[in-house]
C-alpha cells in the first residue's frame, strides 16, 4: 500500500528526478525541505459571541529565483504536510514556466461553508495580520486556492495595505480587476491546460474534434476546462463533483448541469444523465482524462484500470508516484500538474508585474503571453524526454518536467553561493 502523505510524495518525486539527473547531493539536500515554515493561531469572534481559534500555515519552499508565490486554501482537511507539498510543487511550477518567482503556499484549517460573510472576512483579515511579516510583493505573493475567492483576496490585500500604511496591490494576486486584478486571470488555469492539451494531442496523434473527455471536478478549473474543451472540438462525456459523477455518451450540456447543480446542490441529482461514482469516472474509456479535483485520486490501486489515452493533471497531485510508474509502463502519457495547471500562476505573475508597474494589459495581451509560455514549457518537457531517450533513459513527462525545473532552481542556488 502506497503512503499518501503529500509531502512525502513530493520528496519521493524529487528524489527520483535527482537520481536520474545525477543531482549534486548538497543541492538535493537543500531542495528536500522548505526554507521557512510558519504556523499561526487565528482567533475569530463568531456571530454567537464566542471566539473560535483556527490553525493556519504559510510555507516558503524555495526563493532562489524570486519571491515566494502560492495560493491560500481554506479547507477542513488542510494540513502542514499538504501545504509543504504544494509549496514544493509551486517551486517547480514557477521554474518550469521560467518566471522569476519561487514557491510558497498557505492554508487555514476551517470549513468556509459554515462561516457567514462577516466571519469569513474576519478570518481572512486575522490570518493576514498573523502572517504579515511573511508577505510582501518582494517577499511572498499570495493568491486564491481551494475555497478562497477574489473577494477574500481583496480583503487580504486591504488588510496588508493597512499593516504597511499604503496601498500594496502587488502582495496578492487573483484579486477583482477593480482593485488591481488582471484580465484573463479567472480562467487562466484551465486555458493554460487547454494549450497543453492542444500540443499534446498533436504529439500523440489524438484528433480533438469529437475526442471524448472526462473531467473529475466541477469547480472553477473543471468548469472552465469543460467549456474550453468544447471550444477545441472535444466532447465532454462525464464530469463530477464531490457527490458523484454524471455521464452521457452523446456529451453533456454545461449550462444544464450548472443550473441543476445550483438547484439541487449536487451534480449526481442532475436529470437525464447516467449516474457514476468518481472512481467509475476515472476508469471510463475516453481519449482524455482530466483530474481537476483533489490530490491522490489515481493510485496504485486503480492505475491499471485507467483506459484514457492521455491524462492531464489539472488538480494538484492527483496521481501518486506508484500510479505514475504504472501509467508510464502502460504507455499512457500523464502530463503533470505543475505543467498542466501552471496557467494560473503564470497569469498571477502577470498580475504582480502589472501591479508593480501600474500598467495594465488587455485580456488578449494576457492570453497571448500565456499561450507562448505554455507552449514553451510543453516543448521543454518533450525536448528533455527526447534528450534522455537518446541517452537510453526513457523518462515520463513528470520526470522530464522535474528535471527542467530542478536544473533551473539548482543553477540559481549555485550562482547565489547557497551550496
Cell 500538474, residue located: 337
Please state, in angstroms and rounded to a whole number, the distance separating the CA atoms of residues 146 and 105: 12
* Closest listed residue to residue 261, CA positions, set 278, 241, 275: 241
Q: Which long-range contacts (CB under 8 A, 24 or more apart) does 166-170 make?
A: 168/136, 168/137, 169/355, 170/137, 170/141, 170/352, 170/355, 170/356
CA 408, chain centre distance (Å) = 20
Residue 74 DSSP class: E
**Residues 6+ away with beta carbon under 8 Å from 145:** 70, 71, 72, 73, 86, 105, 107
The residues pairing with 71 across neighbouring beta strands, listed in sequence order, are 143
Active-site residue set: 105
The residues pairing with 75 across neighbouring beta strands, listed in sequence order, are 109
Please state, in angstroms and rounded to a whole number, the distance separating the CA atoms of residues 226 and 195: 14
User: Are the C-beta atoms of 312 and 374 separated by less than 8 Å?
Assistant: no
* Closest listed residue to residue 92, CA positions, set 336, 348, 366, 350: 336
Indicate the SS3 state at residue 391: coil
The residues pairing with 271 across neighbouring beta strands, listed in sequence order, are none
For the beta sheet containing 274-276, the strands, ordered from the edge strand earlier in sequence to the opposite edge, are: 274-276, 244-247, 235-241, 212-216, 288-291, 310-312, 334-335
User: Are the C-beta atoms of 296 and 320 separated by less than 8 Å?
Assistant: yes
Amino acid at each position: 500500500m502506497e503512503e499518501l502523505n503529500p509531502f512525502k510524495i513530493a520528496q519521493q518525486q524529487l528524489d527520483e528526478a535527482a537520481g536520474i539527473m545525477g543531482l549534486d547531493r548538497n543541492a538535493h539536500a537543500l531542495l528536500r525541505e522548505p526554507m521557512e515554515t510558519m504556523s499561526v493561531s487565528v482567533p475569530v469572534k463568531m456571530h454567537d459571541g464566542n471566539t473560535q481559534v483556527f490553525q493556519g500555515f504559510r510555507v516558503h519552499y524555495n526563493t532562489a529565483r524570486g519571491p515566494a508565490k502560492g495560493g491560500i486554501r481554506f479547507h477542513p482537511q488542510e494540513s502542514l504536510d499538504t501545504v509543504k507539498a504544494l509549496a514544493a510543487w509551486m517551486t517547480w511550477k514557477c521554474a518550469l514556466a521560467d518566471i522569476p518567482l519561487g514557491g510558497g503556499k498557505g492554508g487555514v484549517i476551517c470549513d468556509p461553508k459554515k462561516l457567514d460573510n462577516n466571519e469569513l472576512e474576519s478570518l481572512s483579515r486575522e490570518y493576514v495580520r498573523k502572517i504579515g511579516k511573511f508577505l510582501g510583493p518582494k517577499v511572498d505573493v499570495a493568491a486564491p486556492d481551494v475555497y478562497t475567492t477574489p473577494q477574500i483576496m481583496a480583503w487580504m490585500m486591504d488588510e496588508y495595505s493597512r499593516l504597511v500604511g499604503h496601498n500594496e496591490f502587488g502582495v496578492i494576486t487573483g484579486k477583482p480587476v477593480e482593485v488591481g486584478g488582471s484580465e484573463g486571470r479567472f480562467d487562466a488555469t484551465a486555458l493554460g491546460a487547454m494549450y497543453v492539451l492542444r500540443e499534446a494531442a498533436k504529439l500523440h496523434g489524438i484528433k480533438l474534434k469529437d475526442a471524448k473527455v472526462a473531467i473529475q471536478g466541477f469547480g472553477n478549473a473543471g468548469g472552465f476546462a469543460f467549456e474550453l474543451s468544447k471550444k477545441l472540438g472535444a466532447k465532454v462525456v462525464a464530469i463530477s463533483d464531490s457527490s458523484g459523477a454524471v455521464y452521457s455518451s452523446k456529451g453533456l450540456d454545461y449550462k444544464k448541469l450548472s443550473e441543476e447543480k445550483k438547484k439541487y446542490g449536487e451534480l449526481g441529482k442532475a436529470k437525464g444523465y447516467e449516474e457514476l461514482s468518481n472512481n467509475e469516472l476515472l476508469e471510463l474509456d475516453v481519449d482524455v482524462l482530466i483530474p481537476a479535483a483533489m490530490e491522490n485520486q489515481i493510485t496504485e490501486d486503480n492505475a491499471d484500470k485507467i483506459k484514457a489515452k492521455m491524462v492531464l493533471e489539472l488538480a494538484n497531485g492527483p496521481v501518486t508516484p506508484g500510479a505514475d510508474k504504472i501509467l508510464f509502463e502502460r504507455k499512457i502519457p500523464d502530463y503533470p500538474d505543475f505543467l498542466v495547471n501552471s496557467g494560473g500562476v503564470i497569469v498571477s505573475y502577470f498580475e504582480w508585474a502589472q501591479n508593480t508597474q501600474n500598467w495594465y494589459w488587455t485580456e488578449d495581451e494576457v492570453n497571448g503571453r500565456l499561450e507562448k509560455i505554455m507552449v514553451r514549457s510543453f516543448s521543454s518537457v518533450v525536448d528533455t524526454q527526447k534528450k534522455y531517450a537518446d541517452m537510453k533513459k526513457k523518462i515520463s513527462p513528470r520526470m522530464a518536467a522535474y528535471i527542467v525545473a530542478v536544473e533551473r532552481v539548482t543553477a540559481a542556488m549555485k550562482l547565489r553561493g547557497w551550496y
